[in-house]
Structure 1
Amino acid sequence: MNRTSDMKKRLPGIILITGGIVLVAMVIQAVILSFINNRSFDRTSQVLLDQVSNVIEKNKASEEDLIDSLKEDYMVRAKAVAYIVDAKPEVANDVDELRKIAALISVDEVHLFNTDGVIYAGTNPEYFGYSFDSGEQMAYFKPMLDDKNLTMCQDVTPNTSNGKKMMYAITWNDDGTKMIQVGIEPRRLLNEVKQNEISTVVANMPMYDGLSVVVADGESGEIYGCSYEPVVGLTLDEIGISVTDDMLPDDEDSFTGIRRINGFRNRCVFRRSGEYVIGVIYRMDVNSRSNMAIMVIMALYLCFAAGLVVSMVMKVIHANRERNEQLSILTSMSGMYYSMHMLDLQHDTFALYTAGDLILRAGERAAGAKELMRKIVHKVVVDEHQASAQKFMDLDSLGDRLIKKKIVSGEFMVKDLGWFRLSFISIDVDEDGRPLKVIFTTRNIDEDKKREQKLIRRSYTDELTKCYNRSAYIDDVRELPGDSVYVYVSMDVNGLKPVNDTLGHAAGDELLQGAAECMEQCFGNYGKVYRMGGDEFAAIIFVNTRRLKRVQQEFDDVVRGWSGQLVKSVSISCGYVSSDEKDWESFDEIVKAADERMYENKAAYYRQKGGDRRYR
C-alpha cells in the first residue's frame, strides 16, 4: 500500500521527468533537423546554382557560334545581291525592285554605296546621303574603302538612323564600282532561342518537394525559367522577391536569406551569373511538416522506452544525414543521365539508381558488376566500338585508370540512340587512392556530336563547289603520314574568265561546279578534292601507278562528257605527281612539280586553242 502510494506520488514526477526528457529531446531533435536540412539545402542549392551557371555559359557560347554562322550567311547574301545588281544594273535606282530583291534574299534592307562610302540608292530612301562618316556604327565599315577584296559583317549594333538593333554585311561588286550592304534584324530570334534554352535548362533540373530553381534577367527581374511554371514571365518583384543592388551588390557572390513568397516563408539563395540572376527557393513549411512527423514518432518511442532516447536520437540523426546526403547527390545527378549505377569494386556488386529502357533491358538479371558491364557493351554498343568499349568497361583495370583521378570517360556509338558518353566517377578510395566504389553513368550526347560534326563539315567545305576548302587541305597535309604512297594532282579550270565576261557569273559558277563534280566523281573514291581558290583545285589520291592511268583516262572521259545548262563544256589542266616517283625532299617539292606539269598542260591547251592564256 505504501509502495503503491509512493509510486503514485512519484508518478507525476516520473511523468514530468519523462515529459521533460521528451520535450528536451524534441527541441534538440528540432534543432538538429533544422541544422541538417539547412546544410543539405545549402549544399544542394550550390550544386544546382553551379549546374545552371555552367549550362547558361555553354548556351552563351552556342549563341556566339550562332551569331558567327549568321555573319557568314549574311555576307553570302550581300554577295548574292551584288551579283543580281551587276546582272541587272537598271534595278540600282529602282527602290521597289530593290525591295523585291531584299524579300527574295530574306533581308530587311539593301543599301548601295559609291566608291566614297556614301549611300546613293537602296530600299530606304531616308538613308540616302549617309556615309561612313555619319556615326560610329557607319564608321565600322571604313576599311572597305582601302580594300576592294574585303567583305565585312557587323555584330548586332544600333543603327545610325534610329538606333534599331541590326546586323549589316557589306561587299564590293565584281568591278569595284560600288558597295552593296544588306541589313537584317536578328535579335528577336536570338532572344527566343536564349529564353527557350533557359526554360529547358530549368525544366530538366532535378527537383524535390518544395524546391524551385529560378533564372531571371539581372536588370528587369523578368523570370525566363522556373521549375514552378506559373511564375515564368512574371518579375521577381511580382512574386515577392526584390533582387536589388543592396541584396546582390556587384562585389558579392551570392545572397542567402528568408523571404515570404505567396504567403509562405521560403529559404532563398541567389547569385549573379553574367546578365542573369539565378536562385534556389525552398518552402520552409515543407521542411517543418517533415520535421514535425519525425518528432512525434520520436516522442512516442521515448514515452515507451525513455532509456532508448539517446540511441534513437543518434540513429535518427545518422539516418537523416545519410538520407539528405544521398538525396542531394541523387537529385543533382540522376536527372542529368540516361542511366546511373553504384558499383562496389571490392565485392563485385551494383545498385541501380536510374536507367533508360535500353540499358535496363541490357543489364537485367546480371549477377555482378563485371557481368553487368559486359552485358551492357555486348547488347548496346555498335559492333565497330565493341573492342574499345569492352576495354573501357573492364573493371579489373579500372582501379589503375582511376588512381588519383576523380573521373574517366569514353564516347561510344549506341544502337538506335547515337553517341553516348560513359563515365566512371570515383566516390570512395583506399589508402593508396584506388577506387573502392564508383558511380557509373551514361549520357546521350548525340545532338552535341551532330552539332560538332556539322560545324566541322561547314568549316572544311567550300560553299560553291562542296569540295574541301584550303583549311581542310592544310590540316590533312599536316597529318599526312610521311611514308604513305599517294598521287598529288594540281588542277586549273580553263576559260573561267571568258565565261564570266561573256555569259555572266552564274555561268562561271556552273563551270566551277561542273569541274568539281568531275573531280569528285573520279578522284573522290581514292582521296579528297580541295578548292584552293578561284579556279585552282588540288587532289590527294591514294592509288598506285597502274591504277593512276585508269583514273586519268576515266577523268578525261568524264570531263569530255560533261555539259551544263549555261556552259556546254569544261576543260581542266592537270599535273600528276606520285610520291614514290623519286626521293622527294619535301611535300612542297611534290606540289611544285605537280604545278609545273599542270602549267605545261595548260600552255599546250592554249597553244591548241590559239588563245591568250592571260584571258583564261
Structure 2
Amino acid sequence: MIAVLDKNESSEERFVKLLKDDYIVRVKTISYIVDAKPEVEYDIDELQKIASLMSVDKIHFIDETGTIYSGSIPKYFGYSFDSGAHMAFFKQILNNYDLTLCQDVTLNTSEAKEMMYAITWNESKTHRVQVGITPKRLLKELKQNQISNVVSNMPVYKGMEIYVVNSKTKIIEGATDKNKIGKKILTSNTNYQYITRKHGNYNVSVSKSESMFSQNNIAAILIVGIYLTLASCLLVLMLSRVLKEKYEKEKYMCTSNTEWAYISLDLNGLKQTNDLLGPSARDELICAASNCMKFAFASYGKIYRIGGDEFVVWIQNSVSNLDSILQEFDATVHDWHGKYSNSISVSYDVVKSSEKSFDSVQEISKFADERMYQNKKDYYTMSCNDRRN
C-alpha cells in the first residue's frame, strides 16, 4: 500500500509539473501575440479567437492594482487579487517583474470550478496576462488515482481489511470496505489484529480477524504483491504515455523528409544602447531587427521573437539557397540606419535538419544557440566591447 501511495504521489507531481510548464508557455505566447497586435487588448472577439487557438478557457488582462480590466470574458472584469483565495495566490507578482506563476488545480472564485491559472508580465511590464484552463485530463487521472479508488480495488481475503487513515483527523480516506470511508478508525476490537505504519500524512493499517490466524496466508500475500506490482507499473505507464506523445511529435518534426533550417538570432549591444541612449533607441533596434528579418526571411518560413532580443527563424522553403538568403539578410542589416542609432548588429547561426539525426526540437535549438553564442562571443572580442561593462 505504501509503495502504491509513493508511486501515485510521484506520478501526480511529475504530471502536474509537465502541465504547468505547458501552461506557462501558452500564457507567454498569448502575451507576445497581444504585444505584437496591441489593438486586440480590448477586442473581446479577437481575444476569444486567440483563447481558442491556444486551447485556453479564458484570458485576463490585469492592471497595476491587480484588477482584471479586459479579457476574453467580460463577466470577470473588475475581479481582483482580493476576490478570493485562488486570486490571492497571484499577489506576489504585483511588484516582481521577473515572476511567472502557474497555480495548482484550484476552485475558482466565481463558479467553484476546478481550474489551473498561469500568469506573466507582458514584455513592456505595463500589465499582466493571465490564462485559465480546465485541466480535464489531469482531473480525470487524479480522480482515478484517488486513495479511495486505489484502496477499494485491492484484493484481500475474507477477514482482512486495508485502511489509509489521515494521521491528523483519524478519518479513513481509503478502505477495501467502501462503507467505512469517511468514518473514524477503531482499533479496539479484540477480534481483530491491527498492523499500522505511519507514512507521511497517512497511517496505513491492515486488520486481520482472529479466524485468519490459523489459515495459510501465503496465497493472500502473493495476490497483494502481484497487485502492488501491477498498480505501480500502471501508474508509471500513465506518465510515460504523456511523455512519449510529446517526444513522438518532436521526433516527427525532426525526421521529416522535407529539409528545413533553424536559425537562432540575438541582437548585439542592446543593453548598452538602452543604457546610453534610452528605451526609445532600444525599441528602435528591436523593430529594425524584426523588419530586417521579415524582409530577408518571411518568404521562406516563419519568424518568432522568443525573448527581449532573441529571435528564431524556421526556414521551410528554398533551404538549398540558404547562403544567398543569409547574404541578403546581412546586406539588409548592413544598410540600415536609424533615428537614434547609425547601425545594427545581429549574431546568428544555423542548424539544418539534414546535418544529423536529431531527437527533438530542443536538441536542435540548443545546437543552434551554442553556435550563435560563439559568434556573439567572437563579435564582442573583435569589437573590444565587454558586455559586462
Can you list the C-alpha shifts for 1:272-309, whole angstroms capped at 9, x where unaligned?
Answer: 8667676546577xx48xx9xxxxxxxxxxxxxxxxxx
Give matches, 1:158-557, under 5 Å.
Answer: 158-161=107-110, 164-186=113-135, 190=138, 192-197=140-145, 198=147, 201-202=150-151, 205=154, 207-213=156-162, 226=176, 232=178, 235-236=179-180, 243-244=183-184, 247=185, 255=187, 257=189, 267=192, 269=194, 280=206, 287=211, 324=216, 326-327=218-219, 330-336=222-228, 448=236, 451=239, 493=265, 497=286, 498=288, 500=290, 503=294, 507-508=303-304, 511-514=312-315, 518=351, 521-522=354-355, 531=365, 537-538=369-370
Structure 2 Cα separation of the partners of residues 166 and 156 of structure 1: 5
SS at match of 1:110: strand
Structure 2 Cα separation of the partners of residues 450 and 158 of structure 1: 25
| Alpha-carbon shift at residue 101 of structure 1 (Å) | 2.9
Structure 2 Cα separation of the partners of residues 195 and 280 of structure 1: 24
Q: Specify which of 71, 79, 83 is matched with residue 20 of structure 2.
A: 71
Structure 2 Cα separation of the partners of residues 276 and 192 of structure 1: 23
Structure 1 Cα separation of the partners of residues 232 and 199 of structure 2: 27
Judged with a 3 Å threshold, the aligned counterparts in structure 2 of structure 1 residues 334 and 70 are, in CA distance, closer, same or farther, namely closer
Structure 2 Cα separation of the partners of residues 529 and 328 of structure 1: 49
Counterpart in 2 of 1:155? 104
Can you list the C-alpha shifts for 1:347-391, whole angstroms capped at 9, x where unaligned?
Answer: xxxxxxxxxxxxxxxxxxxxxxxxxxxxxxxxxxxxxxxxxxxxx
Structure 1 Cα separation of the partners of residues 75 and 369 of structure 2: 46
Judged with a 3 Å threshold, the aligned counterparts in structure 2 of structure 1 residues 283 and 193 are, in CA distance, closer, same or farther, namely farther
RMSD: 5.2
| Alpha-carbon shift at residue 85 of structure 1 (Å) | 2.4
Do the aligned residues in 2 keep the contact of 1:519 with 1:529 (CA within 8 Å)? no
Q: Match for 1:99: what amino acid?
A: Q
| Alpha-carbon shift at residue 180 of structure 1 (Å) | 1.0
Can you list the C-alpha shifts for 1:304-358, whole angstroms capped at 9, x where unaligned?
Answer: xxxxxxxxxxxxxxxx6xx7364565445455559xxxxxxxxxxxxxxxxxxxx
| Alpha-carbon shift at residue 257 of structure 1 (Å) | 2.1
Can you list the C-alpha shifts for 1:508-528, whole angstroms capped at 9, x where unaligned?
Answer: 258444588725643768xx9
Do the aligned residues in 2 keep the contact of 1:573 with 1:598 (CA within 8 Å)? no
Q: Which has the higher contact order (CA 8 A, sep 6+)?
A: 2
- Identical amino acids, percent of aligned pairs: 33
Can you list the C-alpha shifts for 1:550-589, whole angstroms capped at 9, x where unaligned?
Answer: xxxxxxxxxxxxxxxxxxxxxx6865xxxxxxxxxxxxxx
Do the aligned residues in 2 keep the contact of 1:95 with 1:123 (CA within 8 Å)? yes
Structure 2 Cα separation of the partners of residues 506 and 183 of structure 1: 28
| Alpha-carbon shift at residue 152 of structure 1 (Å) | 1.6
Q: Match for 2:369: what amino acid?
A: F
| Alpha-carbon shift at residue 119 of structure 1 (Å) | 1.8
Structure 2 Cα separation of the partners of residues 335 and 165 of structure 1: 31
Counterpart in 2 of 1:85? 34
Structure 1 Cα separation of the partners of residues 364 and 56 of structure 2: 31
Judged with a 3 Å threshold, the aligned counterparts in structure 2 of structure 1 residues 66 and 499 are, in CA distance, closer, same or farther, namely same
Judged with a 3 Å threshold, the aligned counterparts in structure 2 of structure 1 residues 158 and 200 are, in CA distance, closer, same or farther, namely closer
SS at match of 1:92: helix
Counterpart in 1 of 2:341? none
TM-score (norm 2): 0.56
Structure 2 Cα separation of the partners of residues 164 and 201 of structure 1: 25
Q: Match for 1:538: what amino acid?
A: E
Judged with a 3 Å threshold, the aligned counterparts in structure 2 of structure 1 residues 161 and 452 are, in CA distance, closer, same or farther, namely closer
Structure 1 Cα separation of the partners of residues 83 and 173 of structure 2: 39
Structure 2 Cα separation of the partners of residues 81 and 268 of structure 1: 59
| Alpha-carbon shift at residue 78 of structure 1 (Å) | 0.9
Structure of larger gyration radius: 1
Q: Match for 1:257: what amino acid?
A: N
Structure 2 Cα separation of the partners of residues 450 and 160 of structure 1: 31
Judged with a 3 Å threshold, the aligned counterparts in structure 2 of structure 1 residues 85 and 243 are, in CA distance, closer, same or farther, namely same
Structure 2 Cα separation of the partners of residues 492 and 192 of structure 1: 39
SS at match of 1:522: coil
Q: Match for 1:243: what amino acid?
A: K
SS at match of 2:6: helix
Q: Which segments of 5 or more consecutive residues in structure 2 lack a partner in the other structure?
A: 255-262, 269-285, 306-310, 316-347
TM-score (norm 1): 0.39
Structure 1 Cα separation of the partners of residues 15 and 363 of structure 2: 28
Do the aligned residues in 2 keep the contact of 1:573 with 1:599 (CA within 8 Å)? no
Determine if the alignment matches structure 1 residue 117 to structure 2 residue 66. yes
Do the aligned residues in 1 keep the contact of 2:303 with 2:314 (CA within 8 Å)? no
Judged with a 3 Å threshold, the aligned counterparts in structure 2 of structure 1 residues 105 and 446 are, in CA distance, closer, same or farther, namely same
| Alpha-carbon shift at residue 149 of structure 1 (Å) | 3.9
Can you list the C-alpha shifts for 1:169-206, whole angstroms capped at 9, x where unaligned?
Answer: 111223333321012344x7555423423477447745
Q: Which segments of 5 or more consecutive residues in structure 1 lack a partner in the other structure?
A: 1-51, 249-254, 259-265, 292-319, 339-442, 467-490, 540-571, 576-594, 604-613
Judged with a 3 Å threshold, the aligned counterparts in structure 2 of structure 1 residues 223 and 150 are, in CA distance, closer, same or farther, namely closer
SS at match of 1:166: strand
Structure 2 Cα separation of the partners of residues 56 and 70 of structure 1: 21
Do the aligned residues in 2 keep the contact of 1:499 with 1:508 (CA within 8 Å)? no
SS at match of 2:17: helix
Do the aligned residues in 2 keep the contact of 1:137 with 1:157 (CA within 8 Å)? yes
Judged with a 3 Å threshold, the aligned counterparts in structure 2 of structure 1 residues 507 and 209 are, in CA distance, closer, same or farther, namely same
